[in-house]
């Protein structure tokens, strides 16, 4: 997944790079900018602004921040990518599925400079531009290339910026004298007045002579964002959870009658999400069965199959970003009028696809590891289900008090020990088991420690063979269970054990309070190991490629 941004008007290079920085959650392996008549600057690593002598005036520019999916992290693979004749310079977010076929068909004797699929697209455009108009070349390229893409490119001695789009997010915005294009609404500058999401298979240009194949109407740009400072972002977002939960309580009923009626009339539920959203989906599924007394099952989007076995299901789609590619692909194959989206992004691709969307009201989440959005998704689902059955959501106050207690009583001895471990296991039962899996994911992604989450009884079915002095097992408990017996088995085999009890005994949200423990453990363990928990290696905030 990558972030792309374009600007046409009168501006400085750093103006464009400042907007690009808001897309860095999509990838920070390398970045680059091409401006004016195809001049190119590229660098490996995080986005840095140019010094005063290099901050040139520009009238057009395309920018890219990369998360490597095709080709290693290197300067030669950084974007923008150029055609060998220098005619085309291009930035691309997506995956080219028929790269080798195109090479074999059009470029048998050509030597490519990079390992990227994007360079192939640049060469293909340059080839067609030898005897075709820009739009004819674009249409021919779109007929040939397969996969997901949002592409911005410039042509030597042509003052416009051209684009084509399919299955990867791309927005356009403008004001009285400038045009902007971006992977995400975050990057559109505050001076933008109007914007819209571009439809799949759309193409066009911005510049001296604007053309858009997508004729849908523009919306007023009134999006407000407040990107946090670049230090300790994850910790700040964890500590926002009390305030966000209290805001849900203050806002009261925010669910439409249509959504409430969909939940009431459903026979059963299919829940779909990826990563932390999948674990949130498992938690929501348990609440569906416990509160609504209706069958529910959570699926990963790539494993969504045999849904014909379900009787009139409602699909609960969970996506923090609203841009996850495999989730978008799954939603394309299910009835949209049977879907309810839980998202943190009401201006996202999934929100445009699904009419019935619920804002989880987590605010912008910048850190790669999801924390507050995981909790908010579950809280919003709990409030919805309690409204459906006509009962007061009394556990919300207990949840807020519980996570406050964990914040005030958190013990640093746990991350200090975990930082020296070779492997870690979380164990739990019921809802606690789901938090165990989420805790394992957090520790893997930001502390780089092999970690798994298990149901209490399952540790001894094979994985107990891995226990040694460099192993830690953390028991999570929000109720009476057989936790101590399982931990004693680990201790007798010289493993290191911890027992974490939820201060909240709530039936539905008591386990969610434990999410505060696993989030803080992951954060501080990462710090103990000298790592950057806000920018873990190889990962990006949302995955927009399949």
User: What residues are annotated to the active site?
Assistant: 541
On the question of a cis peptide bond just before residue 284, with omega within 30 degrees of 0, the verdict is no
CB count in 10 Å sphere of residue 14: 20
Contact (Cβ atoms closer than 8 angstroms) between residue 453 and residue 425: yes
Radius of gyration from C-alpha coordinates of the chain = 25
Residue 471 has which token pair?
């192993």
424 strand-pairing partners: 451, 472
Rounded to whole angstroms, what are the CA distances from 479 to 233, 333, 435? 32, 40, 14
Q: CA-to-CA distance for 36 and 373, rounded, in angstroms? A: 40
Cβ-proximal residues to 258 (8 Å cutoff; 6+ apart), any chain: 356
Contact (Cβ atoms closer than 8 angstroms) between residue 270 and residue 316: yes
Question: Rounded to 5 degrees, what are φ and ψ at 362?
Answer: -95, -5
Task: Give me the sheet containing 496-501, strands edge to edge.
Answer: 451-455, 423-428, 471-477, 496-501
58 strand-pairing partners: 11
Cβ-proximal residues to 71 (8 Å cutoff; 6+ apart), any chain: 77, 114, 115, 116, 117
Q: CA-to-CA distance for 322 and 309, rounded, in angstroms? A: 27
3-class DSSP assignment, residue 143: helix
Q: Could you say which DSSP state residue 299 is in?
A: E
Rounded to whole angstroms, what are the CA distances from 211 to 214, 253, 365, 442, 486? 9, 43, 34, 45, 66
Contact (Cβ atoms closer than 8 angstroms) between residue 495 and residue 447: no
Contact (Cβ atoms closer than 8 angstroms) between residue 151 and residue 92: yes
């Amino acid at each position: 997944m990558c972030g792309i941004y374009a600007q046409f008007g009168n501006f400085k290079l750093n103006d464009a790079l400042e907007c690009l920085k808001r897309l860095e959650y999509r990838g920070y392996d390398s970045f680059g900018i091409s401006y004016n008549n195809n001049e190119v600057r590229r660098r490996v690593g995080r986005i840095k602004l140019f010094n005063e002598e290099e901050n040139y005036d520009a009238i057009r520019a395309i920018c890219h921040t990369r998360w490597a999916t095709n080709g290693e992290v290197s300067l030669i693979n950084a974007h923008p990518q150029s055609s060998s004749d220098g005619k085309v310079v291009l930035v691309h977010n997506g995956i080219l599925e028929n790269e080798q076929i195109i090479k074999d068909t059009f470029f048998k004797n050509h030597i490519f400079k990079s390992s990227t699929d994007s360079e192939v697209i640049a060469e293909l455009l340059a080839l067609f531009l030898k005897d075709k108009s820009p739009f004819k070349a674009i249409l021919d390229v779109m007929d040939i290339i397969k996969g997901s893409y949002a592409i911005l490119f410039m042509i030597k001695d042509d003052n416009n910026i051209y684009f084509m789009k399919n299955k990867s997010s791309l927005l356009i915005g403008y004001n009285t004298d400038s045009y902007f294009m971006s992977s995400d609404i975050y990057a559109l500058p505050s001076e933008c007045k109007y914007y819209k999401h571009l439809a799949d298979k759309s193409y066009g240009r911005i510049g001296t002579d604007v053309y858009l194949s997508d004729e849908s109407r523009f919306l007023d740009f009134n999006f407000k964002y407040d990107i946090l400072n670049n230090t300790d972002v994850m910790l700040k977002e964890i500590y926002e959870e009390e305030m966000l939960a209290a805001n849900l309580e203050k806002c009261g009923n925010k669910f439409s009658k249509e959504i409430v009626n969909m939940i009431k009339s459903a026979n059963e539920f299919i829940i779909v999400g990826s990563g932390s959203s999948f674990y949130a989906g498992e938690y929501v599924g348990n609440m569906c069965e416990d509160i609504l007394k209706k069958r529910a099952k959570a699926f990963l989007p790539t494993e969504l199959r045999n849904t014909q076995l379900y009787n009139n299901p409602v699909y609960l789609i969970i996506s923090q970003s609203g841009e996850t590619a495999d989730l978008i692909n799954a939603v394309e194959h299910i009835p949209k009028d049977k879907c309810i989206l839980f998202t943190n992004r009401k201006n996202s691709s999934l929100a445009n696809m699904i009419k019935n969307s619920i804002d989880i009201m987590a605010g912008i989440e910048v850190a790669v590891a999801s924390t507050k959005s995981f909790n908010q998704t579950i809280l919003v689902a709990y409030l919805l289900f309690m409204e459906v059955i006509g009962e007061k959501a009394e556990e919300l106050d207990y949840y807020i008090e519980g996570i406050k207690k964990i914040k005030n009583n958190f013990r640093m001895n746990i991350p200090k020990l975990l930082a020296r471990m070779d492997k870690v296991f979380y164990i739990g039962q019921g809802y606690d088991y789901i938090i165990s899996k989420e805790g394992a994911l957090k520790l893997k992604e930001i502390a780089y420690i092999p970690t798994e989450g298990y149901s209490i009884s399952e540790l001894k079915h094979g994985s107990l063979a891995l226990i040694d002095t460099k192993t830690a097992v953390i028991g999570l408990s929000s109720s009476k269970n057989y936790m101590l017996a399982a931990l004693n088995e680990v201790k007798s085999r010289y493993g290191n054990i911890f027992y974490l009890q939820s201060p909240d005994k709530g039936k539905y949200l008591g386990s969610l309070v434990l999410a505060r423990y696993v989030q803080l453990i992951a954060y501080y363990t990462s710090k103990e190991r000298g790592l950057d928990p806000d920018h873990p290696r190889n990962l990006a905030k949302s995955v927009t490629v399949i």
